[in-house]
Amino acid sequence: MEEIEITKPDDWHVHFRDREILREVVPETTRNFARAIVMPNLIPPILNGKQAIKYKERIKKVIPKTDDFEPFMTIYLTEKTSKNDLKEAYNNNAVFAAKLYPAGATTNSDSGVKDIKKIMPVLETMAKVGMPLLIHGEVTHKEVDIFDREKVFINQNLDFICKELPELKITLEHITTEDATMYVNQSNRNLVATITPHHLALNRNAIFVGGIRPHNYCLPILKREKHRRALIEVATNGNKKFFLGTDTAPHFASHKENCCGCAGIFNATYCMSILAQIFEDNNSIKNLEKFTSLNGSKHYGLSKNKTKIKLLKRNNPIVFKKQIKVGNNSISVFNPDFPVYWEVI
Ligand SMILES: [Zn+2]
């Protein structure tokens, strides 16, 4: 049996939600990850340092005693965000980064930004103090095809921000297209990207296998196979500009199996197993650690984690649990539907 040991991973994009969901999903992340950037799109969103500190306290309360885990907090940018508040929250270590959601781009993003130009003074301040900007990179105009929204955002918005503020540290999150890999690769070192396990595992056919598959519906939506291949290439070749952000996003199964199902895939539970399998299948298991544990911390100027995790390749595929119970509800656990032999031990 094969075994590998890697530096404990970090998850640079996670949704923990709040209340009873928070309690059940936090341990699924803290088991295998040492740090995570926590998204601010609660209802209502986390808009300032004070709210971020309170949310961090709620998260810390539900971290199992056995797990050593640090949540990194974010602020949800709106057209009303005050640059002075933001600067203060960053300088006081209340928050680590700010998140830009174009209005309406995904779950709970209604308060997001409609006109990027309106937040340029805030972004200038962030560039000055060195605060990272995290971007959900999709336009939301109805007339733009859902499969083209990332590409159009890059051309219409990201390119503008990068040219105006080349010194701003930007993470283009959960990229899904070959266009994004190319743009990030050609850009200066301040622009990097995160990639999710589900966008590495699946192409858009997975949403429609013998019927509609609500649990494979996420935003940005899964794309064609050629885009998945482009993501695999940059994730598995050790490229420093690309690292893991799972975008693990819990929803009640009843809200996904619905006539208007929610977008989001809950992948925290078997993330590392799935990634190890994908990297091995692409003859790149040696680069798994760079993607999950080294590239991200290096980009954010953090030291790498001191602890390690071990993964063991079993003779038989591991059996995934199907769901996580939350009271009378449940959250479906992501299963990529191919055999996964690697287990975190
Ligand atoms: Zn997300």
The Å distance, Cα 219 to ligand 1 centre, comes to: 8
Domain spanning 3-344, CATH architecture = Alpha-Beta Barrel (3.20)
Could you give the percent of the chain with pLDDT greater than 70? 99
The Å distance, Cα 281 to ligand 1 centre, comes to: 26
Confidence of residue 103 (pLDDT cuts 50, 70, 90): confident
Catalytic one of 10, 11, 179, 247: 247
Q: What residues does each domain of the chain span?
A: 3-344
The Å distance, Cα 231 to ligand 1 centre, comes to: 17
For the question of residue 148 being annotated catalytic, the response is no
Looking at residues 135-144, what average pLDDT do you find? Answer: 93
Interatomic CA distance for residues 181 and 231, integer angstroms:
7
Which residue type does 91 have?
N
The Å distance, Cα 314 to ligand 1 centre, comes to: 31
What is the reported pLDDT for 90? Answer: 97
Interatomic CA distance for residues 272 and 117, integer angstroms:
39
What is the reported pLDDT for 216? Answer: 96
The Å distance, Cα 97 to ligand 1 centre, comes to: 14
Q: 104-127 pLDDT, tens per residue? A: 767 777 678 989 999 999 999 999
What is the reported pLDDT for 222? Answer: 97
